[in-house]
Amino acid sequence: MDPEDEEWQHQNRTNWRGLGLADPIKNVEDKWLLLPAFLKVKGLVKQHIDSFNYFVDTDIKNIVKANNKVTSDVDPRFWFKYADIHVGFPDRTDLDAIDKSITPHECRLRDITYSAPILVTIQYTRGKNVVRRPNVNIGRLPIMLRSNKCILTGNSEAQLARMTECPLDPGGYFVVKGTEKVILVQEQLSKNRIIVETDHVKGIVQASCTS
């Protein structure tokens, strides 16, 4: 038996209130006791940051790929195509700025948006030639704090202090025109679907439908 299997068997033995590592926890009181450990590992905003990272790295490319080519209705030989897209890092939009990097704290003080440029590589026809232009700026995207596009990510507490940022700030929000904005996640039942639930305590089965 290799060391990993031995470690798994050791961890899976009964070690906490008669439960093994893989056993389900049915008692509500026991679940509350595990909450601090869960928050220490996952945090309160990890799902927000992971979702934003996935959108910036993957989803935005899929959206462009699904609508990447526009062909002229008059002459099909003339077309315009998005070859690639990526989001840069937050920077200043001042034309005379020497240092282009910017921090969330400065955005709060100056009432501006903590955002990054959206850059695309385009191809289009000019006569009989195909022209390719890289890094064309088509707009800006607000950047979530502590995401993989945020300047605060990966810095030590001392570096964050020099940026006038709190090391305990978990991020997961935006700075828009100097104001901190949060996207609230709501969970709703699917509409026009029959939801069947079983109540083992009362011994009944009930169905509901939201329209």
Q: How far is CA 137 from the centre of its chain?
A: 22
Q: Do strands 129-142 and 174-176 pair parallel, antiparallel, or not at all (unpaired)?
A: unpaired
Tens digit of pLDDT for each residue in 79-137?
899 999 999 999 998 877 778 889 999 999 999 999 999 999 999 988 788 899 999 99
pLDDT score at 127: 78
pLDDT score at 147: 95
| Rounded Cα–Cα distance for residues 96 and 112 (Å) | 17
Q: Name the token pair of 178.
A: 């100097």
> E-assigned strands of the chain?
69-71, 79-87, 115-126, 129-142, 174-176, 179-181, 194-199, 204-209
pLDDT score at 68: 86
pLDDT score at 198: 85
Low-confidence ranges of the chain (pLDDT < 50): none
pLDDT score at 159: 94
Give φ, ψ of 40 to 5 degrees. -65, -35
